[in-house]
Chains A and B, each alone.
Chain A
Amino acid sequence: GNSVTQMEGPVTLSEEAFLTINCTYTATGYPSLFWYVQYPGEGLQLLLKATKADDKGSNKGFEATYRKETTSFHLEKGSVQVSDSAVYFCALTRVTGGGNKLTFGTGTQLKVEL
């Protein structure tokens, strides 16, 4: 079946540091890949996505590239801010039947300090 593996958290960084959160997946065929972000006390919001191999998703300074050869979708940001403190979830979906289901990783908490 489908699965997503993320690096354990929490990850603690100083403001303006470089961020990498690793994500690898197992799936048959060609899934779409997502990063969702959850700010404290809120639901999940889509951060970025990629739908095919070598696609790069980007948003708010975050980037992730769909690497089929390594089955990875690592999240990166060149300079993090305190406001980026949140939990980040990697996820994949395969269209089945009339809709889609998401498979999530366990989430990685990011704490950014001044």
Chain B
Amino acid sequence: DAEITQSPRHKITETGRQVTLACHQTWNHNNMFWYRQDLGHGLRLIHYSYGVHDTNKGEVSDGYSVSRSNTEDLPLTLESAASSQTSVYFCASSGFPLGNEQFFGPGTRLTVL
């Protein structure tokens, strides 16, 4: 069965370190998204991609970057982790044939000390 996976599931890091969160989907979807989930804010879009080599900023993109070198993967990098980036991060994908339905990964809980 097609799926979307994230790794690691839990990560503790220190302020100032670079961190990369992995997202891998086997749906062959063109569209991939990264969200962060925080109490009182719901899910907020960080970055998204509509295809290989395409990346776009979402509403809370400062301090984050993504790259899309193939269809399956969209890694999220925190260039210099800050305590304000402690959150739960979700990756999602969408595409043919259910164009506007997004499928979510299980999430990565990141703690920045």
- Which residues of chain A in 99-114 are interfacial with respect to chain B, using CB atoms and an 8 Å cutoff? 99-102, 104-107
Q: State which of A11-19, A64-72, A89-97 sits at the interface with chain B.
A: A89-97
- Which residues of chain B in 27-45 are interfacial with respect to chain A, using CB atoms and an 8 Å cutoff? 30-31, 33, 35, 40-45
Nearest-neighbour CB distance to chain A for B24, whole angstroms, equals 14
Q: Which of B30, B43, B104, B106 contacts A99 (CB 8 A)?
A: B30
In the assembled complex, B50 has its CB within 8 A of some CB on chain A: yes
User: In whole angstroms, how far apart are the Cα atoms of A51 and B100 in the complex?
Assistant: 10
Q: Are B101 and A46 interface neighbours, CB within 8 A?
A: yes
B interface size (C-beta, 8 A): 28
Q: Are B42 and A97 interface neighbours, CB within 8 A?
A: no
Q: Are A100 and B43 interface neighbours, CB within 8 A?
A: no
Q: Are A93 and B100 interface neighbours, CB within 8 A?
A: yes
Contact size range, A: 20 to 34
Nearest-neighbour CB distance to chain A for B2, whole angstroms, equals 15
Q: Which residues of B contact A (CB under 8 A)?
A: 30-31, 33, 35, 40-45, 48, 50-51, 54, 58, 90, 92, 94-95, 99-107
